[in-house]
Amino acid sequence: MIRLATTLSLIAANFVAPLAHAKPGDEQEQVRKELRAGNVHTLSDIENHVVPDMSAQGMEYLGSGYDESAKVYRLRFIRNGQVYYIDVDARTRQIIARH
């Protein structure tokens, strides 16, 4: 019984330890700082600007990512089984690349 409890404790520690060392929301915190400073648009603003046009082209919106150094949102879409990436400048809301 003690051996089982010890094993379970070690397993639990392996799941919790990485969380303790992770920097909580670094990417999100950086975006928040930029938003407060007025340097970038919100994700919802970017989505409201881009998603309707992509949907009109038959694309389904999958989600997004943010590159803090470039201040670029990458929106992911799918159409006919192919994934498309649309890079949007977070400062201007302009589409800067399509992959």
Q: Is residue 45 scored above 60 in pLDDT?
A: yes
Residue ranges of domains in the chain: 27-98
Is the CB of residue 76 less than 8 Å from the CB of residue 55? no
pLDDT of residue 54: 97
Mean per-residue pLDDT, 52-71: 95
pLDDT of residue 63: 97
Q: Is residue 50 scored above 70 in pLDDT?
A: yes
Strand partners, 60: 78
pLDDT of residue 20: 42
Distance of alpha carbon 45 from alpha carbon 95, whole angstroms: 13
Q: Is residue 82 scored above 80 in pLDDT?
A: yes
Name the pTM for this structure.
0.68
pLDDT of residue 4: 42
**Residues 41/45/47/50 CA torsion (nearest 10 deg):** -90
Structure tokens at 95: 């589409």
Q: Domain 27-98, CATH 3.30.310 — does that match? A: yes
